[in-house]
A and B are shown apart, each in its own frame.
Chain A
Amino acid sequence: MPINKSILIVDDVSDNIVLLQSILDKAGYNTIAATSGIQAVDLCKEIDLDLILLDVRMPQMDGFETAMQIQNNSKNAETPILFLLVKTDESNISNAFKNGGVDIINKPFNDEELLARINTHLTLRAQQNNLAQLNITKDKFLNILAHDLRNPFNSLLGFSELLHESIDQADLNKIKKYADIIQNTSKNTYDLLNNLLSWAQAQQQGMVVKKELVNLNELINELVQNVENAAESKNIEIFISLNEPIAIWADQEMLNTIIRNLLTNAIKYSKVGGEIKIKGVINNNFAEIRIKDNGIGMDETTKNSLFKVLETKSKKGTKGEVGTGFGLILCKEFVELQGGKISVESQLEKGCEFIFTIPIKNN
């Protein structure tokens, strides 16, 4: 059964639309209809479609002209178009592929063949999308290998050489300093590698959501305890307010990662004496969790680049803490894998509030 695939049917003869709609509805597709090319072009600017069935012989604006306009200036420029043509309409048939069609559906048609062709083109499209996504993943992977993983090795190699020399000179102070640098750099690089691999795994759909009943109150308390030291070092107070006990069906590991990342960020970008507030409510079958700080906040450009894998940057914390720039990418991935959403509200110097939702039911 095709899940949530939307097909636009364009034909000036309403009997043709009724017929196609009944066949496609029965097969489980969502159908949308337009009775003119102009109407189709307008719809294509509004709705994301998976496939378009487009009659060629229409008054005013024919199917070829319609296809050109759809492919020139709308969000459906890449959506496969299958032209509807009468079997004996030789001249239009020979022009269909030059006019932006990926295939032809003949009238009269046979139901099985119609559905098979549609299915083939939907599958092809999905595979193209997957390939494009995979390509982004690969680019990002190589990018990180080339820069973010290479630089720490420069410093590891450089400082281990210095360490070696210091041992020869028996300079304990220097030995300690270089060992510290090597230790910190290794740890940060290891974190980056782990994040990178988790993200890549999620991209390749190799990550399965393991839902179990999670007690949010307990989970949050535990995570807050884990960051207490870091918070105390900046004299930050953390307030938790969950007005009721919240139990949700979620992947505990992923939930851990999400909240830990958001909490760590909040501490990292808070000033000494800051305040962090964690709120949890249930809202229309979703648990909504908000983590708010009154730290340094962020400008519009940073805000717009958050959650985007090709634009990740990492800024040092208020005490020079370093990061990998991958925390929020993972948060988004894990929230969405579980059927939720994540967003941020922030102004420079006014702090940040991260909000995410997770469906509470198990389905």
Chain B
Amino acid sequence: MATIDINKEIIWDPKFETGIQRIDLEHKIFLELFNSYRIAIIQKKNQFELNKIINVIEKYAEFHFTSEEAFMAQVNYPGIENHQHLHFDLLEKLNIAKHKVDNSIEFLQFAYEWFAHHTTHEDRSISTFVNKNNIQTNYQLNI
């Protein structure tokens, strides 16, 4: 996994693409938040300010997982239960990581890898299922 360069913008990588509009859109917000955190580090913001951003990342992760689980239910994705458990594990890991944030760059690195692993592995299986079953996912169909 690539090491984060604190001075470079964290950008969208095509390998993150699931092809499901809603999910890709939500995933992009994660990168926005990581960049906010990165810039706060460069600006030497204090721990209190950094914690606020961590808090936003945490709340957003909760939102995104709930949203993704709702999507899986809507398309009758068979691996939904297992996937939900992976989400639980991710939130537990995030909890542990946020308590060890004496090194902010380390937390950023953790968060990025956490995200990348989640999108390129677990979420990939959702898009595989959607494509194989020819399920249309767009805004007109409200999914």
A interface residues (Cβ-Cβ under 8 A, vs B): 13, 15-16, 19, 23, 57, 86-89, 107-109, 111
Contact = CB atoms under 8 A, between A and B. Distances in A.
A19 B99 CA distance: 8
A58 B30 CA distance: 29
A108 B88 contact: no
B120 interface: no
B95 A88 contact: no
A86 B91 contact: yes
Max chain B Cβ within 10 angstroms of own Cβ: one of A13, A16, A88, A108: A108
Nearest to A89: B88
Contacts, number: 36
A204 B104 CA distance: 53
Max chain A Cβ within 10 angstroms of own Cβ: one of B87, B91, B98: B91
Contact of A57 (B62, B66, B85, B94): B85
Contacts of A16: 92, 95-96
Contacts of A23: 99
B65 interface: yes
B96 A57 contact: no
B8 to A, nearest CB: 28
Nearest to B58: A108
Given A19-B99, A57-B85, A107 B62 contact: no
17 contacts: A16-B95, A16-B96, A19-B95, A19-B96, A86-B88, A86-B91, A86-B92, A87-B62, A88-B62, A88-B65, A88-B87, A88-B88, A107-B91, A108-B91, A108-B94, A108-B95, A111-B99
**How large, as a class, is the contact surface on chain B?**
10 to 19
A87 B99 contact: no
A238 to B, nearest CB: 66
A340 to B, nearest CB: 44
Contacts of B91: 86-88, 107-108
A218 to B, nearest CB: 60
Nearest to B64: A88
A57 B95 CA distance: 16
A287 to B, nearest CB: 49
A357 to B, nearest CB: 45
Nearest to A91: B84
Nearest to A110: B55
A57 B69 CA distance: 18
A13 B85 CA distance: 14
Contacts of B95: 16, 19, 107-109
Contacts of A89: 88
A88 B70 CA distance: 12
Contacts of B92: 13, 16, 86, 107-108
A89 B90 CA distance: 12
Contacts of B96: 15-16, 19
Nearest to A55: B92
Nearest to B91: A86
A13 B93 CA distance: 10
B58 A88 contact: no
B62 to A, nearest CB: 5
